[in-house]
Amino acid sequence: MRKKNGFSLVEILVASSVFSLVILGLVSVFIAAKGHVIHARERMVSAVIGKFFIDPLQMDVRQENWDTSIFVLGKSPDTQIINNTEFTATYVIADVVDTDLHRVITTITWPDSTL
């Protein structure tokens, strides 16, 4: 009886195909994770940009002198570009029911990056 030294061609093909499937799975996981990290980074930046858009409102808008002219005169910014991404703010002014209060809802949007 002969001693078997090494692997047969079939064993090498099976092992390499299993190895390639595992590597392809890991690569797809890393690509998806990269997209999620980029999107999370944009969300964090948009929170900071939201503060940028809301700060002028806090300084200029008071209940005793409420006026929507801040939006008409352009005192409040509506776009900001950071890292080649344009963040756009839209403002909605609403009255609070059964009070003299007003609510300003600011929505920050940006183009979703694709990989």
The pLDDT tens digits of the residues spanning 50-73 come to 788 777 777 666 655 556 555 544
Structural domain boundaries enclosing 35: 9-109
Average pLDDT over residues 87-98: 81
**Tokens at 65, concatenated:** 């002198």
Rounded Cα–Cα distance for residues 106 and 70 (Å): 14
Rounded Cα–Cα distance for residues 55 and 25 (Å): 46
Split into its structural domains, the chain has a count of 1
pTM: 0.49
3 domain residue, yes or no: no
53 domain residue, yes or no: yes
39 domain residue, yes or no: yes
Q: Which residues contact 20 (CB under 8 A, 6 or more apart)?
A: none
Residue 39 identity (one-letter amino acid): H
Greater model confidence, 45 or 13:
13
115 domain residue, yes or no: no
105 domain residue, yes or no: yes
